[in-house]
Homo-oligomer: A and B are copies of this chain.
């Protein structure tokens, strides 16, 4: 019996499927054999994922007679670098993979972003499959084709729009995540409800414990999230409009990540997004765009699942508001100098606000830091 759910990402010639379900790592061999008969593969992964799951994957591939060369990298955000990009690309070439072969990105967001980028430039482009192993990667980074590395000048400033040929999200693998990692991914799940699916947010308020526990509710939450993301990406693949909605919570979140020097012991990406979403709702209420009740509801839910939601929830000291504001203006979602924010008129009513007054943002940050 298979409870796998399949979602279509409608991108014309670049369309692909997302498969979500239990035991998909072990079943990857037959999926990949069906996708690209005769192709050889390289598995790009990190040390943590390799020690837990690589054997299951390579065994499944071997049973389907698929050759696989593993390329194992250090875990962590620092791996999204020029040096590691070179290492992966050279590894793919050394493995004698050709343009008809296949790269498998097997890991969290760091591995997916890096391997997808490397696949896009090795021999001017090889097809790749995303096998996300973190909740964050399953509901966000593995879908939509954004790939890349970090620049010393900022995160994700170098990369490609490069769509995978298939996404295989094994929901069982998530049981090996730490609770903190799972929660961080959950922030992006809640985000889809807050952007434009109020019923999904209400469902999460009732069912989040089952999502954390695993089983059908988890598969359902991931599927809803992927559907939401696929819809936005199909409308705006290259982020010239609507796709920016996916950045709800990210402008504040990125600034907080930068302010904590990307120290994951203090703040990981999903936690930054959780605080960022709470701030976006509070800021919207301060600008009289939304009711304060909605901001309170968002905060209550984040608190219930154990996510941080206030700047003061971050351990250690933070720079002054002026510095945080500087990080915000350095964010890449700036069009010809104008400040763009994702704000909201209520739960599930987010919108892209351009020309947000800089003085309001600064005053808001000052109040939140003083809290």
Contact = CB atoms under 8 A, between A and B. Distances in A.
Interface string A24-55: 00000000000000100000000000000000
Contacts of A125: 160-161, 238
Residue of A122, A123, A154, A334 contacting most chain B CB atoms (<10 Å): A123
A159 B148 CA distance: 14
B336 A158 contact: no
Interface in A155-189: 157-161
Nearest to A94: B153
A124 B336 contact: no
Given A100-B336, A336-B100, A82 B86 contact: yes
A90 interface: yes
A93 B154 contact: yes
B146 A124 contact: yes
B157 A335 contact: no
A316 interface: no
A244 interface: no
Interface string A110-133: 000000010011111100000000
A181 to B, nearest CB: 26
A161 B152 CA distance: 26
SS class of chain A's interface: helix, strand, loop or mixed?
mixed
A297 interface: no
A36 to B, nearest CB: 12
A98 B239 CA distance: 13
Contacts of A349: none
Contacts of A158: 89, 93, 121-124
A157 B93 contact: yes
Interface string A224-244: 000000000000001000000
A280 B98 CA distance: 25
A286 interface: no
A65 interface: no
Residue of A90, A121, A151, A157 contacting most chain B CB atoms (<10 Å): A121
Contacts of A94: 153
A332 interface: yes
B90 A152 contact: yes
Contacts of A238: 125
19 contacts: A82-B86, A89-B151, A93-B151, A93-B154, A93-B157, A93-B158, A98-B335, A98-B336, A117-B121, A120-B160, A121-B148, A121-B159, A121-B160, A122-B157, A123-B332, A124-B158, A124-B159, A124-B160, A125-B238
Given A124-B148, A125-B238, 10 more contacts: A89-B151, A90-B152, A93-B157, A94-B153, A98-B336, A120-B160, A121-B148, A121-B159, A122-B158, A124-B160
Nearest 7 CB-CB pairs, A to B?
A82-B86, A124-B159, A93-B153, A121-B158, A93-B157, A89-B158, A124-B161
